[in-house]
């Protein structure tokens, strides 16, 4: 799994989420589906390396406030189209893990807050709007794509997992890809960066274990998102059809571009 990860100094959680076995003996293509956190701290060396990865479209799941506070650095000659929704994809004008930190002091409280948050995330209007851009891009745009948010683990994790489910990736592989966040790249540097943001918003009294819980992922989080989707719509496929507007024709176009 760690072979999927491209290590950068200032870009966290960058990896290929293609290559998995899909339905009917097909396989998701490698080298066209990438995911990561934000790029505001990218070094010059990071940007030079990023420029060698063929990315035509970037889907930015962050809200306006996050993009203004953490503008992504771009390599020289940057030509990818960046897609995003005009609004906030999380409440409190923060990333979900920062939002969940409100009134949290212990790891147990942080875990409960994240589980609750994941039950809400698939139904947030501006995040839905950006997921629609994501699936439309996968259906109709040539070249590789990069899906990212602030930490590259919550909104990005849910979006990637929905795509995997629609492509018929096995549930075990969906979860393994999601949990790869916990071992991808320099974990301590990523957690330290997240801790600075969380503590600047909510004070120093939060425990280190609570910070680590907020900056990691857990199977219970993604399970809660899928449980909420299925409770509301019956299946991930019906949710995608009814909420994300991925009709059968769009799904067929995505399959044609991504499956081999």
Q: How far is CA 59 from CA 34, 73, 76, 103, in A?
A: 10, 15, 19, 31
According to DSSP, the β-strands at 55-60 and 81-83 are: parallel
58 - beta bridge partners? 82, 146
Alpha helices in the chain (DSSP H): 44-50, 64-69, 96-100, 107-120, 125-140, 155-166, 171-179, 187-202, 208-214, 219-233, 236-242, 248-258
Catalytic status, residue 72: no
| Residue 217 φ then ψ, to 5° | -125, 160
The upper half-sphere exposure of residue 219, i.e. CA atoms within 13 Å in the direction of its Cβ, equals 6
| Cβ 152 vs Cβ 12: under 8 Å | yes
- Choosing from 149, 174, 180, 246, the catalytic residue is 149
185 - beta bridge partners? none
242 - beta bridge partners? none
Round to whole Å and give the CA distance between 239 and 230: 8
- Which residues are annotated as catalytic? 149
């Amino acid at each position: 799994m760690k072979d999927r990860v491209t290590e950068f100094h200032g870009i966290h959680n960058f990896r290929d989420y293609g290559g998995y076995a899909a339905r009917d003996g097909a396989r998701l293509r490698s080298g066209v589906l990438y995911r990561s956190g934000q790029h505001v701290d990218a070094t010059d060396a990071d940007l030079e390396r990023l420029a060698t990865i063929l990315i035509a479209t970037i889907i930015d799941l962050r809200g306006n406030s996050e993009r203004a506070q953490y503008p992504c650095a771009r390599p020289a000659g940057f030509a990818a189209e960046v897609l995003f929704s005009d609004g906030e994809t999380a409440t409190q004008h923060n990333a979900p893990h920062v939002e969940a930190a409100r009134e949290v002091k212990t790891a147990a409280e942080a875990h409960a807050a994240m589980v609750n948050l994941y039950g809400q995330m698939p139904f947030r209007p501006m995040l839905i709007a950006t997921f629609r851009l994501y699936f439309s891009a996968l259906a109709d745009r040539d070249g590789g794509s990069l899906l990212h948010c602030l930490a590259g683990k919550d909104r990005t994790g849910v979006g990637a997992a929905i795509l995997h489910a629609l492509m018929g990736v096995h549930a075990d592989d969906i979860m393994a890809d999601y949990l790869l966040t916990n071992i991808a790249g320099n974990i301590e540097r990523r957690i330290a960066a997240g801790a600075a943001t969380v503590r600047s918003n909510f004070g120093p009294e939060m425990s280190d274990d609570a910070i680590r819980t907020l900056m990691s992922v857990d199977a219970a989080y993604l399970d809660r998102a899928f449980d909420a989707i299925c409770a509301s719509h019956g299946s991930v496929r019906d949710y995608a059809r009814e909420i994300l507007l991925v009709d059968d024709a769009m799904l067929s176009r995505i399959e044609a571009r991504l499956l081999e």
